[in-house]
Amino acid sequence: MKIGIFDSGLGGLVLGRAIIQKLPQYDYVYLGDTARVPYGNRSKETIYEFTKQAVTKLFEQNCQLVVLACNTASAQALRKIQKVFLPKNFPNRRVLGVIIPTLEAIDSGHKNIGIIGTLGTVKSKIYELELKKLWPKAKVFEQAAPLLVPLIENNELDKAEPFLREYLKPLLAKKIDTLVLGCTHYPLLKNQIVNIVGPKVKIICQTDVVPSKLANYLARHPEIEKKLSKKHSQIFEVTDLNQDFLSVSKMLFGKSINSKVVIL
């Protein structure tokens, strides 16, 4: 059986590459809902329905485990997927998100935590709610950054800096000591963000955190790990094969990848 990786668009490719580099022995199916991106401005009900469709598609392709490489889906749909959808439909499969592993990487000594993410992720307050469980005394400041995903999806990273400065300005005014990049697209902007916030602010980037957390999860759950096939294969699927996906995937993987268009 395979590991599925789902994202609303291209951001999951960034995290998917990091996971594959960390755990290259497994077989993967990547699914990007590029026809309906972005999810960040959609309702919670719509995000759940889209996520449920994608998870079902991956399970139908023999995935034992699906990683929601999408903060919006993790924030708005994961809990219901785990508590309602899986027990009724796929009780022996697993779906994991990216938010809890990300927050676990925050140093307990850091008190002023900034979060940037999509409008849907920020509106959900999931980062603040979960972080308060880990570090009750931490101060959490969240900032929606709705224009970053479209810029990345259109491969216009060079135009992002003025928007980044505008989004980060209120967080820096709060004297944050940690900044969580709460979207799997944002690692592509990490260098620009570091230049803006300076060396004293610790950056929590999901590509640095989630692959190791997944490896740890599999080590703790041998009953799942032993079901996974190990043929080093990778399948890439999208709901719309556009030029942005082709160019970004080539930039990330250093070559053109064969991608299949699927219907959810």
Active-site residues, by number, are 70, 183
Burial class (CB in 10 A: 0-12, 13-18, 19+), 46: middle
First to last CA, the chain: 21
Spatial separation of the C-alpha atoms in residues 119 and 107, rounded to whole Å: 26
Spatial separation of the C-alpha atoms in residues 78 and 128, rounded to whole Å: 16
Spatial separation of the C-alpha atoms in residues 65 and 5, rounded to whole Å: 9
Q: How many Cβ atoms are within 10 Å of 52's Cβ, its own excluded?
A: 19
Spatial separation of the C-alpha atoms in residues 76 and 110, rounded to whole Å: 26
3-state SS record for 17-54:
HHHHHHCCCCCEEEEECCCCCCCCCCCHHHHHHHHHHH
Structure tokens at 144: 């929606």
